[in-house]
Amino acid sequence: MSNEKAYINEQVICYHCGDICKDKTIGKEEKFFCCQGCKIVFEILEENKLCKYYDFEKTPGISPAVRSESKYSYLEDEQTARQILDFSDAKINTVTFYIPQIHCSSCIWLLENINRLNKGIVSSQVNFLQKKLSLKFLNDKTSLKEIAELLDSIGYEPLINLDSVEKKKKSNYNKKLYYKIGVAGFAAGNIMLFSFPEYFGLDRSLDSVFGNFFGYLNLLISIPVLLYSASVYYLPAIKALRKRAINIDFPISLGIFALFFRSAYEILAQTGAGYSDSLTMLVFLLLVGKIFQNKTYDALNFERTYKSYFPLSVSIIKSGIETTIPLSKLKKGDRIIVRNGELIPADSILFKGDGNIDYGFVTGESIPVNKILGEIVYAGGKQYGEAIELEVLKDVSQSYLTQLWNNDTFTKKEDQTVSWFSNMVGKYFTIAVLLIANVSTIIWLNINPGIALSVFTSVLIVACPCAIALAIPFTLGNALRNYGKGNFYLKNINTIERLAKTDTIVFDKTGTITQSGNSSVNFIGEPLDELEKSIVKSISRHSTHPLSRRVYLEYQDCEHFEISNLKEYSGKGISGNILISKVALGSYAFAIGKPEPEKHPGEEKSSKVYFSINDRLRGVFSINNSYRKGLEEVIKSLGNDYKLHLLSGDNENERPHLSKIFNNNSILHFKQSPEDKLNYILRLQADGKRVLMIGDGLNDAGAIKQSDVGISVSEDISGFSPSCDGILDAENFSKLPEMISYAKTSMKIIYMSFVFSVLYNIIGLYFAVNGLLSPLFAAVLMPVSSVSVVLFCVIASDFMARKKLGEIRFYNVL
C-alpha cells in the first residue's frame, strides 16, 4: 500500500485504526493517527519490523484503551493464574485468551508473530472464528501478566472473567457426530458397490458363492452402523419412552432395527440380498441432516450470565495496604478500589472519590450517573474517571442485579431442545404405522402365512419417517443460515419453531427500541456564549433527570461555577443562583413560570428542556429521542398480528410519546425492576401466552431467559448480550417483522414437505402391504424420497428468504 494518507470525504483517517482524525497534529512520517494510543502501537510495531500488519488490510488496528497500571496485577496471583492456564509445567505454560477484537487477517498475522515482541513466547495460534489466541510461553522468560499487558498495549485486550475460568471444558459432541458420519458414509458407499451385482440382476442360483459372499460382507459392514452410527437415535427414543411419550426417534429406530434384522435373516437364511444398502444410506443421510442443523456461531455466546462480565479479582484495602483477591473471597464490609473502566462487583456504599457510573451493561442506558459520597452504587456499573473506594454492602451473588440469577428460571434445566412438530409426527406416525403393520400381518396370516412376517417388517421399513426427519433439520438449518446472513443469530433450530409459535411480544425500552448513547442535543435560540455554556453545565450537573443529564454531557468540558440556593423539583426542573442571576432548567412552566402554550402537531417527537435566566426564556434544548430507525413501522406491522407489551425500567416521562407509537391494545409498563420483568413474563405464560421477549441489558436477562423466545438486540454482536435464544444486530432491527414471519414460513415449508413424505410413504406402504417390497425398490425409493424432500426444503427456504429478507445487506462476519 503506497498512499500513506487515506482520505474519506477529505477527512484524514487514522493510519492505524481508520477512525477520523479530529486532531490532525498526531502524525509521523506522513502517517496520521487519531490518538496517541494508535501512534504508540504503530511505533511498537515499526520498531519490531512488524509493519506488514498494515499490508494485509487497510487500517486494521484497534485503538488501545486507557489502562491502569494494576489492571492485570491479579494475574500474578498463583491461584488465579492456575485457573487461567490450560496446561503448565516447570518450563512451559499454555494459555488460551478470548480476544473479541480479532477481526481480520492482519490480526491473525500479528498475533501469530507476537513472539517478536516477547521472546518468552514459544508459539501462538489464532482460532479466527472463535476469536481465541492460544499461546505457549516459557516460565522463566515471561509471565502471564506480561503477556496480557503486551496484548492490551497493542489493542488486543484479552477478556478474562469468571466465566472463562469456570467453563473451560468444551463438549466434543460434534466430533463424535463426525466419527459416526464417517463410519456410516464408509458403510453406505461400500455396501452400494457390493450391491451392484444384485441391482443388475445377479442370478443367485448360478453364482451362489458371490451372492453369499457379498451378503455376508454387507451384513458385516452394516453392524458398526447399527451399533455405533445409528445410536444417536436410540437414546432419545428410550428416554422419551421412559417418560411415556413417543418422539420421532422411535419410529426411526424401529425402521433401522427392522431393516437390519430383516437383512440379517435374509442373508443368513440365504433367501435374499437384504436391505443393508438402504439401512446404511438412510443412517448416513439422517446424520448429515444432524450435522447441518448443528450450525453454531462459535464467536457468539448465548449462555452468558453476569459471571461473563464480572472480573476475576478485585483490589481491596486491608489495614491500609492494597492487595488483590479473587472475587469469590470478597466479603461484606470489605473496602474495595474500583478504577477507571472497571466494573463494580457488588452493591456497595461510595466511600471516597467521585462516582461517575455507567450502567450500560445493566439497563442499556449509557449515560453515566453521578454518585456522591455515602450513596449506594449497585453491582454491574462501570466507573469512569478517577478511582473510587467502596465498602461492600452485600455478597456478590446477593446484589440487586446478581440475585436475579438465584431465581428458579436460571436453575431450571432446559428441555426446549426437542422439536414440537417432529414429536407430534413421531407419535401419530408410530401409532398409524404399527396399526397398518399389524392389520396387514393378520390379513396375510389368513392368506399366506409364509410371507406375513416379511410384510410386517416391510411396513416398518418403508414407513420410517426419514423424509420428515430430514425436512426439519434442513429447512430450519437453512433458515438459521439465512437469518445469519441478515445478522440475526439464533442459538439453534428449535428457536425458529418456537419463534413461529409466539403470539405475544414484549419489548424493553432503553437500549432495545431506543438507541443507546446516540441522542442528539440541539439548542434552539440565540447561540450560547462561553459564560452561558458554563452556567448550563454547572446547573445541569446537579440534576438527576435523564434529559438534563444529557444536556450536561454536551457541555461537560466547560468551566464550573458554584451554585447557591439549588433546588430540584422532581419531574419539573432544577433551579439555583449563579453569580447574580437566577437560573432555571426544566419544563416550560417551570422555567418561565407561565403555562405552556399549545404545541404544534408533530412537535412532540423530541423532548425539550427549557433554559431561563432571571425568568426570561433564553432558549430550548431539544433532545431527540433516538428511537431505532423504523421503530414505528416495526410496531405498526407487529401490532396487527401480535399483542404488544412494553416493559421499561425508566419513569413515565416517555409514556405520552410511546403510547402514540404503540396501538391501543398494547400495554405499557414503567418503573419495572429486573424481577418485575421476569414475573411479568411468568404471568403472561400462566395465561397461556407464548412470549417473545426483546431486550438488551442484564436487567432483561431474567425475562429473556423465562420467555419462550428471548432475543437480545445488540449494537456489537460479539460484545455484550445477556443469555438468550438469539442475538439481533441493532442495525437490522427494522427487519424484525419480516424475520418473525420468515420463521412462520419455514414452518409452513416443513408442513408441506410433510405432506410430500406422507405421499411417498403411501406409495411405499402400498407395495409393502402387498408383499412386493424388493430390496432394489427400497434402495431406490428411500433415497429418492429423502433427497427430493431435502431439495424442496432448501430451495423453498432460500426462495422465501430472498423474498422476505432480501433487502438486507448480505454480509457476514461469522
Partner 1 sequence: MEIIIILIIISLLVAISFLVAFLWAVKSGQFEDRYTPSVRVLFDEEKKIGNNNKKL
Give CA separation, 164 vs 29, 98, 103, 705, in Å. 41, 8, 20, 21
Q: Residue 458, Cα to own-chain centre: how many angstroms?
A: 45
Angle between the 208-224 and 173-199 helix axes, to the nearest 10 degrees?
Answer: 170
Among the listed ranges 31-39, 185-193, 232-240, 783-791, the one in contact with partner 1 (CB under 8 A) is: 185-193
Distance CA 309, CA 402 (A): 11
571 binds partner 1 (CB under 8 A): no
How many residues line the site for partner 1 (CB under 8 A)?
A: 32
Residue 186 Cβ vs partner 1, minimum distance, rounded to whole Å: 4
What's the CA gap between 716 and 725, in Å, rounded?
16
Closest CA to 506 of 707, 787, 290, 799: 707
Residue 517 Cβ, how far from partner 1 at the closest point, in Å?
A: 27
643 sits near partner 1 (criterion: CB under 8 A): no
When the beta carbons of 7 and 811 are compared against partner 1, the nearer one is 811
The residue among 126 and 377 lying less far from partner 1, judged by its C-beta, is 126
Residue 103 touches partner 1, criterion: CB under 8 A: yes
The gap from C-alpha 41 to its chain's centroid, in whole angstroms, comes to 31
In the shown chain, the binding pattern of residues 44 to 73 toward partner 1, with x for contact by CB under 8 A and - for none, equals: --------x--xxxx---------------
104 binds partner 1 (CB under 8 A): yes
Question: Minimum Å distance from CB 811 to partner 1?
Answer: 7
Query: Among 173-181, 375-383, 522-530, 711-719, which window interacts with partner 1 (CB under 8 A)?
Result: 173-181
**Is the CB of 177 or the CB of 367 nearer to partner 1?**
177
Length of the chain: 814
Place of cell 411417498: 760
Angle at CA 300, nearest 5°, toward 68 and 341? 15
Per the listing, cell 503477556 goes with 147
Contacts of 541 (CB under 8 A, 6+ apart): 370, 552, 556, 560
In which residue are the cell numbers 517478536 written?
Answer: 116
Q: Which of residues 204-223 bind partner 1 (CB under 8 A)?
A: 210, 213, 217
Among 182, 450, 525, 571, which residue sits at the site for partner 1 (rule: CB under 8 A)? 182
Least Cα distance to 604 among 596, 613, 592 occurs for: 596
Q: Which of 11, 79, 105, 270 binds partner 1 (CB under 8 A)?
A: 105
- The piece of 189-197, 253-261, 472-480, 725-733 that touches partner 1 (CB under 8 A) is 189-197
Q: Which of 100, 189, 484, 771 binds partner 1 (CB under 8 A)?
A: 189
- Does 175 participate in binding partner 1 (rule CB under 8 A)? yes
Contact call for residues 564 and 576 (beta carbons, < 8 A): yes
Residue 186 vs 265, nearer CB to partner 1: 186
Count of CB atoms situated within 10 Å of the CB of 259: 29
* Residue type present at position 746: S
58: Cα within 13 Å, side-chain hemisphere: 12
Compare residues 55 and 322 and give the one whose CB is closer to partner 1.
55
Stretch that binds partner 1, among 101-109, 346-354, 434-442, 768-776 (CB under 8 A): 101-109
Burial of 94 (0-12, 13-18, 19+ CB in 10 A): middle
State the DSSP H helix or E strand holding residue 336, giving kind and residue range, or none if neither. Answer: strand 335-338
- Nearest CA to 768 out of 427, 275, 276, 277 is that of 275
CB nearer to partner 1: pick between 103 and 655: 103
Contacting residues for 678 by C-beta, under 8 A, at least 6 apart? 404, 407, 409, 702, 703, 705, 706
Rule CB under 8 A: say whether 228 interacts with partner 1.
Answer: no
Of residues 40, 59, 109, 758, which one binds partner 1 by CB under 8 A? Answer: 109
**Closer Cβ to partner 1, 132 or 427, answer by number:** 132
Nearer to partner 1, 83 or 130 (CB): 130
Is position 87 an interface residue for partner 1 (rule: CB under 8 A)?
Answer: no
Choose the stretch contacting partner 1; rule: CB under 8 A; options: 108-116, 328-336, 339-347, 783-791.
108-116
Q: How far is the CB of 217 from partner 1 (least distance, A)?
A: 7
CB of 489 to partner 1, least distance (A): 16
Contact residue for partner 1 among 108, 165, 434, 613 (CB under 8 A) = 108
Sheet holding 564-569, edge to edge: 521-524, 616-624, 606-613, 581-586, 573-578, 564-569
Residue placing its CB nearer to partner 1 in the complex, 166 or 207: 207
Torsion of the alpha carbons at 714, 717, 721 and 726, rounded to the nearest 10: 90
Query: 3-state SS string over 79-130?
Result: HHHHHHEEEECCCEEEEEEECCCCCCHHHHHHHHCHHHCCCCEEEEEEECCC
- The least distance separating partner 1 from the CB of residue 110, rounded to whole angstroms, comes to 11
Interface with partner 1 includes 767 (CB under 8 A)?
no
Residues that bind partner 1 (CB under 8 A): 1, 52, 55-58, 103-105, 108-109, 112, 125-130, 175, 178-179, 182-183, 186, 189-190, 194, 210, 213, 217, 811, 813
